[in-house]
Structure 1
Amino acid sequence: MKKKVLIPTTFEEDTKTALRLATDIYQGSAAEITLCTISEISDSITELLFLDAKDHIDVSKRDAIISFWNQHKKAAHEKAEVSLHHQFGLSQPKFNRMMERFEPDMVVVPQSFQQSPEYIHQFALRLFHTSRYPMMLLPGNAETVKGIQRALYLDESQQQASSVAVQQYPFHVIHKSMVEGQEYGSTRTIVEKMQIDLIVKPKRKKGLPVEHDRDAGTFGLPILTI
């Protein structure tokens, strides 16, 4: 079965890392990757009659990302396919319909989208976070993320860990609850000594988005919430 990845983007450079990570995680799979841009809907009736995504994105940046992907796909013999989607306006019902349409196995969010000053992007980020879909937040130093081999699940206990959800991924997952109290000490020490590439956390149904979780965010690693 094809894996599906949704990447909300503003077509900044770190979109390239999101694409590379998506293909690395689902290596060997003919994955379907959708680059999704989101913009407000104008109040102007005239503009509503002639909605065009090109008026709401940086076309040169988009073309640069697509050019990179085409070169990367050819050089790495990637099987994945990339498509574009532009979402005009966003509300909870519109978000639900968009996600039902794409049914992504993972949402990969570049740092540039996380830090976007656009209200609609921050609103989308909150909706992604509270949705049932796994979401990976890339760090600011995303260009240093070369691949994911080993992840640390910040579970509070083995009983609470969603083992089925974690085991679907091709990287090795270490549960913090299983190594706590051993010689490793702090979470940072575990990350450093066990050469962790990814932090995994259970999703919060209520509360602040993952970007506000200081304990995980200070490691400079991607954060996957499931």
Structure 2
Amino acid sequence: MKSFLIPTTLKDDTISAVKSAVNQAKDSDCEIILMISAETPDSYSSSYFLREMKTGLTASQEEILETCRYIVDRIPNCKLKVHNQYGLSSPIFKRIIEHFSVKLVILTNSYKQETKRIHQYLIQLAGNQKCPILHLGSEESKDGFNKALYIENANANMHVKVVQQFVTENFSFEIVSQTSNFDDNYENFAPYLSEAISKYDIDLLVETRKGEKIKFNKTKKENTNERLGLPVLSLYEELA
């Protein structure tokens, strides 16, 4: 069974994330976990704690959740689960990944824009896990991915063939082109990237990542996903 974890605040693009999970599952049995996180109420009062823990969903969130359920209910081999998580730490998140046997974390654009500390913390925790992360683009993805551009990290100790082998074994698209990392020289690389994306009909980017120290910066660095607007599959280097 393939398990997909989607951290969410139940914005509109959660629906796109669920569709992406269904497309990635293909004909396999799958479980889609919508993870709704909230800070643990800071109080010694048990009544206040319980009252805060029972905060319900808005009408808009309920509608999005029902739409997600409707999509999954139409797929015989898939099921949807909602996991409410109060408080978060590295051991807890790792245990969630292990408990649900998560094969892919899907991050929506709206979730990455959330400003609450717990959501930003979860994103960084996800980056330190060994399971792949699919960063969705700002626009709704078409059904499935076909052709990918591999962005090679100069410090990565792996060849594109190793990455391609992992992709072939776990996903249904292929890497048709590659380029070196352009973080420090994006302005000069941009025309060549646009040409390659257009020429090869690229609909997905693939990159690798390493574990990083958790830190909260006031100024957020623009990532590849935001620069090019395409979905990005991020592979943990030890896994790939």
User: Between Structure 1 and Structure 2, which shows a larger proportion of strand residues?
Assistant: 2
Paired residue for 1:198, among 196, 204, 218? 204
Partner residue of 2:164? 163
Partner residue of 1:3? 2
Deviations 1:188-216 (A, max 9, x none): 2111111111111011323799x845445
Q: What is the letter of the counterpart of residue 95 of structure 1?
A: F
1:52 deviates by 6.9
**Using the alignment, how far apart are the partners of 1:156 and 1:97 within structure 2?**
29
**Using the alignment, how far apart are the partners of 1:172 and 1:101 within structure 2?**
30
| TM-score, normalization by structure 2 | 0.78
Q: How does 1:170-185 map to 2 (within 5 A)?
A: 170-176=172-178
1:94 deviates by 1.4
4+ residue stretches of structure 1 with deviation over 6 A? none
Partner residue of 1:224? 233
Task: Give the 3-state SS of the residue equivalent to 1:10 in structure 2.
Answer: coil
Task: Give the 3-state SS of the residue equivalent to 1:97 in structure 2.
Answer: helix
Question: Would the aligned equivalents of 1:11 and 1:58 in 2 still touch at CA under 8 Å?
Answer: no
1:23 deviates by 0.5
Question: Would the aligned equivalents of 1:34 and 1:82 in 2 still touch at CA under 8 Å?
Answer: yes
Paired residue for 1:82, among 51, 63, 80? 80
Task: Give the 3-state SS of the residue equivalent to 1:205 in structure 2.
Answer: coil
Q: How does 1:36-47 map to 2 (within 5 A)?
A: 36-45=35-44, 46-47=46-47
**Using the alignment, how far apart are the partners of 2:173 and 2:47 within structure 1?**
47
Deviations 1:55-93 (A, max 9, x none): 1x524344212321343345x545211000011101112
Q: Which range moves more in the overlay, 148-157 or 46-55?
A: 46-55
Q: Which runs of 5+ in 2 are unaligned?
A: 181-190, 236-240
Partner residue of 1:182? none
Deviations 1:169-189 (A, max 9, x none): 0112224059xxxxxx82221
The 3 A distance-change label for structure 1 pair 215 and 84 is: closer
Identity over aligned pairs, percent = 25
The 3 A distance-change label for structure 1 pair 177 and 49 is: closer
Q: Which range moves more in the overlay, 44-53 or 114-123?
A: 44-53
Deviations 1:112-159 (A, max 9, x none): 110001111001000101211100111222x25443121112125894
Question: Would the aligned equivalents of 1:41 and 1:48 in 2 still touch at CA under 8 Å?
Answer: no
Question: Would the aligned equivalents of 2:20 and 2:144 in 1 still touch at CA under 8 Å?
Answer: yes
| TM-score, normalization by structure 1 | 0.83
**Using the alignment, how far apart are the partners of 2:97 and 2:13 within structure 1?**
23
Task: Give the 3-state SS of the residue equivalent to 1:87 in structure 2.
Answer: strand
- Give the total of aligned pairs: 215
Question: Would the aligned equivalents of 1:111 and 1:137 in 2 still touch at CA under 8 Å?
Answer: yes
Alignment RMSD (CA, Å): 2.7
Q: What is the letter of the counterpart of residue 11 of structure 2?
A: E
**Using the alignment, how far apart are the partners of 1:215 and 1:72 within structure 2?**
29
The 3 A distance-change label for structure 1 pair 32 and 125 is: same
**Using the alignment, how far apart are the partners of 1:151 and 1:47 within structure 2?**
52
Q: How does 1:37-186 map to 2 (within 5 A)?
A: 37-45=36-44, 46-47=46-47, 50=50, 54-55=54-55, 58-73=57-72, 77-141=75-139, 143-156=140-153, 159-161=158-160, 162-167=163-168, 168-176=170-178, 186=192
Question: Would the aligned equivalents of 1:41 and 1:89 in 2 still touch at CA under 8 Å?
Answer: yes
Q: What is the letter of the counterpart of residue 107 of structure 2?
A: V
